[in-house]
């Protein structure tokens, strides 16, 4: 049995002791104000709930204040320790009207990741208060060391004195220096403790959020693949029903007439057979075009550049093609980009009234196949269910890519897609 690829080890977050200390000092100074604000909102909300429901407004505001605190904390920790955790997002809308708003608010209240961010913020604020006290001791110890070494007495002041040590005014300078060193060591230890706790809290929430994002993306890709397949099936059915099928029926009827006239009117039968032959060749051409629409052989044999060149050559609108690919991508990625461009050219020919098209294709960072289609038409393109742009959107989603359409009224229209090369 072949072993799967090894999971890459998660990089260790950087220490950044000095920056962490600055963060904790700031949170220690202002965290109390934030805590006071939340308590005020909670108290006023509970106290005024029975007064015409006014307090409910304060409770709703409290929920979003808590969300803001959690969002700030997660962004702070991600930035401080270079974590790759996703940002905190508000709960998705759970329906329309007041009922939908209340369900959405309830989902936000029970959002575990929001409470993890609040817990991390609270821990950081408490550690910040302790760190400020340690910094106070360090400054006092260094000042007392200098004073006592110069033969001056050390005066204790309640606002500047040490937190954990009683008042002494005639200690040896090395004792004061030891106080300062221990205080600095405690500050470093608090910074390391903060790193350990917050990464543990943020990491647990980030892993759950990443799993949710992966599940959401997988669901979008599945839905896009199903929708793209349905749109493609409908297109094939329409082309067969409206094009090839009537032509083959006509061929059969023409050959039947020729068979009836072959003895009584040989010349007329020959003309009918010639007509059936011409119709058969046209049907073969249409079938080839349908096969090319399913998967062009030139794309498989010669790559995306050659396939797009052939596509541009068949376009009714002049196409300026700019393809620069240093390497080939996966078959799925190239096929998705090919059909996106093919459908874009077809839509432009049908609806845009454009006189010029420009197609640009690049391989970005050797990981993403990027394409842009521009026209100088009338603009106003929109994604409508069952339309060409709907098919493009679903095909891109199924490939795990990104899609952007810019088509103001009056034009121009530009469409950009990015498909992962390994899709």
Summary count for the chain: helices (H), strands (E): 11, 5
Give me the domain span that covers residue 333. 298-420
Contact 375, 411 (CB under 8 A): yes
106 occurs within a structural domain: yes
Question: Are 285 and 311 members of one domain?
Answer: no
- Tokens 């892993």 -> residue: 207
- For position 244, which CATH number holds? 1.20.5
For residue 278, give both structure tokens.
């011409």
Q: Tell me, yes or no, if the pTM score tops 0.85.
A: no
For residue 170, give both structure tokens.
């005639």
3 occurs within a structural domain: no
- For position 305, which CATH number holds? 3.30.565.10
Question: Are 273 and 309 members of one domain?
Answer: no
Question: Are 290 and 302 members of one domain?
Answer: no
Residue ending a domain, choose from 262, 294, 326: 294
Question: Are 155 and 250 members of one domain?
Answer: no
pLDDT of 397 reads 77
8 occurs within a structural domain: no
273 occurs within a structural domain: yes
d(CA 117, CA 27): 14
Question: Are 287 and 310 members of one domain?
Answer: no
Question: Are 109 and 82 members of one domain?
Answer: yes
List, as one string, the DSSP characters of 220-281. Answer: HHHHHHHHHHHHHHHHHHHHIIIIIHHHHHHHHHHHHHHHHHTTT-HHHHHHHHHHHHHHHH
Whether residue 20 is preceded by a cis peptide bond, meaning omega within 30 degrees of 0, is no
Question: Are 278 and 302 members of one domain?
Answer: no
10 occurs within a structural domain: no
6 occurs within a structural domain: no
Domain count along the chain: 3
Residue ending a domain, choose from 294, 309, 332: 294
pLDDT digits (tens, 9 = 90+) for 302-355: 788 888 888 788 788 888 888 888 778 888 788 888 888 888 887 788 777 888
d(CA 377, CA 227): 28
pLDDT of 266 reads 79
Closest residue by Cα to residue 232 from 395, 400, 403: 395
pLDDT of 193 reads 92
pLDDT of 393 reads 78
Question: Are 336 and 287 members of one domain?
Answer: no
Q: Whats the size of the chain, residue-wise?
A: 423
Q: Which residues of the chain have pLDDT under 70?
A: 1-12, 52, 147-172, 203-245, 247, 283, 285-298, 386-388, 422-423
Residue ending a domain, choose from 261, 294, 327: 294
> Residue 417 forms beta bridges with which residues?
371, 403
């Amino acid at each position: 049995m072949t072993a799967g690829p090894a999971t890459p080890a998660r990089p260790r977050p950087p220490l950044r002791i000095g920056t962490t200390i600055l963060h904790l000092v700031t949170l220690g100074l202002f965290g109390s104000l934030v805590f006071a604000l939340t308590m005020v909102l909670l108290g006023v909300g509970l106290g005024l709930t029975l007064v015409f429901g006014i307090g409910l407004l304060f409770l709703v505001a409290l929920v979003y204040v808590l969300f803001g605190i959690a969002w700030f904390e997660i962004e702070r920790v991600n930035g401080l320790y270079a974590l790759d955790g996703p940002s905190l997002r508000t709960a998705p809308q759970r329906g329309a009207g007041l009922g939908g708003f209340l369900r959405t608010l309830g989902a936000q209240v029970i959002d575990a990741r929001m409470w993890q961010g609040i817990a991390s913020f609270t821990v950081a604020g408490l550690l910040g208060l302790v760190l400020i006290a340690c910094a106070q001791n360090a400054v006092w110890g260094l000042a007392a060391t200098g004073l006592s070494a110069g033969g001056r007495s050390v005066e204790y002041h309640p606002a500047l004195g040490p937190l954990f040590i009683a008042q002494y005014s005639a200690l040896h300078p090395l004792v004061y220096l030891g106080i300062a060193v221990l205080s600095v060591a405690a500050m470093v230890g608090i910074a390391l403790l903060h790193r350990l706790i917050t990464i543990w809290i943020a990491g647990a929430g980030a892993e759950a959020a990443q799993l949710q994002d992966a599940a959401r993306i997988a669901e979008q890709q599945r839905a896009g693949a199903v929708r793209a397949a349905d749109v493609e099936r409908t297109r094939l059915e329409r082309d067969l029903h409206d094009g090839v099928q009537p032509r083959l029926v006509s061929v059969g009827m023409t050959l039947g007439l020729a068979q009836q006239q072959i003895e009584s009117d040989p010349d007329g039968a020959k003309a009918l057979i010639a007509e059936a032959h011409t119709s058969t060749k046209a049907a073969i051409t249409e079938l080839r075009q349908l096969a090319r629409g399913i998967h062009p052989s030139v794309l498989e044999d010669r790559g995306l550049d050659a396939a797009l060149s052939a596509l541009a050559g068949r376009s009714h609108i002049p196409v300026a093609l700019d393809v620069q690919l240093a390497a080939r991508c996966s078959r799925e990625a190239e096929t998705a980009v090919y059909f996106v461009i093919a459908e874009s050219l077809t839509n432009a020919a049908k609806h845009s009234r454009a006189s010029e098209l420009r197609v640009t294709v690049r391989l970005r960072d050797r990981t993403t196949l990027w394409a842009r289609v521009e026209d100088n038409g009338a603009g106003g393109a929109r994604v409508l269910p069952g339309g060409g742009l709907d098919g493009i959107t679903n095909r891109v989603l199924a490939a795990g890519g990104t899609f952007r359409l810019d088509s103001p009224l009056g034009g121009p229209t530009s469409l950009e897609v990015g498909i992962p090369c390994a899709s």
